[in-house]
Amino acid sequence: DSGVTQTPKHLITATGQRVTLRCSPRSGDLSVYWYQQSLDQGLQFLIQYYNGEERAKGNILERFSAQQFPDLHSELNLSSLELGDSALYFCASSFTSSDTQYFGPGTRLTVL
């Protein structure tokens, strides 16, 4: 158990819909990261927040957005969903940007 929690575990929705994925970091960690893993692909970095502020952006689509709240939990919002958005979405946390990242169990999103 990494200490990072993600909800929901599974999500099935239709094209065009909007969903919100939630992540609670390990106690004491200030940085939260979001990754996407499509079928047989590596981890694609989406976005990082540090203590409530956006720190780095990766390959995140404009239809996707995220935020980190004062209690340090984070949400990833995916809108106008397409079939190709079906993937595993992982959240990770670390104390600073250079520290080891600890991953949550992931949310499996299926867009039908």
Positions in 63-92 near other proteins (CB under 8 A): 90, 92
What are φ and ψ of residue 17, in 5° steps? Answer: -80, 175
Q: Which helix (H) or strand (E) holds 82?
A: none
Residue identified by tokens 């990242």 is 101
Task: Please say which residue, 78 or 91, places its beta carbon nearer to other proteins.
Answer: 91
Query: With binding defined as CB under 8 A, does residue 27 bind other proteins?
Result: no
Other Cβ atoms closer than 10 A to 3: 13
Query: With binding defined as CB under 8 A, does residue 2 bind other proteins?
Result: yes
The correct pick among 4, 11, 19, 78 for binding other proteins (CB under 8 A) is 4
Strand, helix or coil at 84? helix
Task: Please say which residue, 33 or 64, places its beta carbon nearer to other proteins.
Answer: 33
Query: With binding defined as CB under 8 A, does residue 12 bind other proteins?
Result: no
